[in-house]
């Protein structure tokens, strides 16, 4: 994530974190900081500061508050993550008011059963945060509903301590289907997109998306299949961002585990307008993009900053770079 202009270093300051999937060394997430637009990085902190003995930490997501909220100032950084052991999974929330240097625990959003992804079990996974109006929205994958193998849902909070009812965002047409790994972006003043994987088998997770006028009301929206200009469907662990470059409607940018290339749409998510754009950055599981604009060393239209790790089931270093989309 890129810190806002009010933070020291302005738009050239970036924070990055990642999971370390090692049950032999439980702990939190390392946070790295760059003050030169991603050219160099240094270890900055750890979330949480000392981990939690006996628990493993997966699926971190960093989010900067765009305005003051629930007693935290504009620019405060939130970290949502999955804290788990052999008996439970928990979506937990931490906050930092010093640019990600120190962290404090806020609340548990949702708690589920053991970390078993097979249908019929009851874990929770993969949080994503969004401040909307006067509520923080936490989206996540939920296996606790007996009607679905897995679904996408969200809960909201006005104080970051207490969380409302579970609201469905995407469900399968059959019990065995597994919608998961939601990310959300605003693509217009009154239009939002949610991308997610739609597990139809153990090995195939085609990317789906929904459009909605309200990011708390994706549930009724129809699911769309993402197909590029050749009818190809990217698969697994998608992420979405929006850039104001590329035309009057901007550009929706989607990444997926299956491909190094990006999939872009310059017509507000029209199902027939997805095209593939080549990328020199390697493919990765939950590869995140930050559209670049304004001042800074790479503040040119059509550029996105990319942070990626390994594809699912593989080993690779954490890498960062810039890709030209236009």
Contact indicator for 264, 253 with CB cutoff of 8 Å: yes
Q: What is the pLDDT of residue 206?
A: 98
Q: What is the pLDDT of residue 23?
A: 60
Q: What is the pLDDT of residue 9?
A: 46
Contact indicator for 205, 235 with CB cutoff of 8 Å: yes
Q: What is the pLDDT of residue 295?
A: 47
Q: Return phi, psi of residue 240, to 5°.
A: -135, 145
- CB < 8 Å & 24+ apart, contacts of 275-280: 275/228, 275/229, 276/228, 276/229, 276/230, 276/232, 277/323, 277/325, 279/306, 279/323, 280/321, 280/323
Q: What is the pLDDT of residue 269?
A: 98
Q: What is the mean pLDDT of each run of 10 residues along the chain (326 residues)?
A: 66 88 71 93 86 78 97 97 94 97 97 97 99 98 98 99 99 97 95 98 94 98 98 97 90 95 97 96 91 60 86 87 86
Q: What is the pLDDT of residue 27?
A: 72
Write the CATH number of the domain with boundaries 1-176. 2.120.10.10
Q: What is the pLDDT of residue 299?
A: 58
Q: What is the pLDDT of residue 218?
A: 99
Q: Where in the chain is the domain with CATH 2.120.10.10?
A: 1-176
At 184, list the tokens: 């959300």
Could you tell me which of 247, 145, 256, 262 has the C-alpha nearest to residue 206? 256
The three-class DSSP label of residue 318 is coil
Q: How far apart are CA 71 and CA 69, in angstroms?
A: 6
């Amino acid at each position: 994530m890129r810190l806002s202009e009010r933070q020291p270093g302005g738009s050239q300051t970036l924070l990055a974190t990642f999971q370390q999937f090692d049950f032999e060394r439980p702990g939190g997430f390392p946070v790295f900081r760059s003050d030169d637009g991603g050219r160099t990085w240094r270890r900055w902190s750890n979330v949480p500061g000392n981990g939690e003995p006996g628990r493993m930490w997966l699926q971190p997501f960093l989010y900067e508050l765009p305005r003051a909220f629930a007693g935290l100032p504009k620019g405060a950084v939130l970290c949502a993550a999955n804290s788990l052991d052999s008996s439970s999974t928990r979506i937990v929330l931490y906050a930092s008011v010093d640019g990600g240097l120190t962290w404090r625990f806020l609340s548990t959003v949702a708690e589920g059963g053991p970390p078993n992804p097979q249908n019929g079990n009851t874990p929770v996974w993969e949080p994503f945060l969004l401040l909307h109006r006067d509520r923080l929205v936490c989206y996540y994958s939920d296996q606790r509903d007996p009607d679905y193998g897995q679904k996408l849902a969200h809960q909201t909070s006005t104080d970051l301590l207490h969380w409302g009812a579970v609201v469905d965002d995407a469900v399968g047409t059959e019990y065995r289907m597994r919608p998961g790994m939601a990310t959300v972006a605003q693509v217009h003043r009154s239009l939002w997109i949610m991308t997610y994987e739609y597990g139809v088998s153990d090995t195939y997770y085609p990317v789906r998306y929904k459009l909605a006028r309200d990011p708390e009301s994706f549930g009724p929206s129809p699911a769309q299949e993402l197909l590029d200009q050749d009818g190809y469907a990217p698969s697994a662990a998608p992420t979405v961002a929006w850039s104001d470059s590329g035309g009057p409607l901007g550009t929706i940018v989607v990444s997926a585990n299956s491909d190094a290339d990006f999939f872009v749409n310059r017509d507000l998510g029209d199902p027939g307008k997805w095209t593939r754009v080549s990328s020199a950055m390697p493919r990765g599981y939950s590869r995140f993009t930050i559209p670049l604009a304004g001042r800074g060393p790479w503040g040119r239209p059509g550029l996105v900053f990319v942070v990626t790790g390994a594809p699912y089931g593989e080993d690779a270093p954490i890498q960062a770079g810039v890709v030209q989309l236009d």
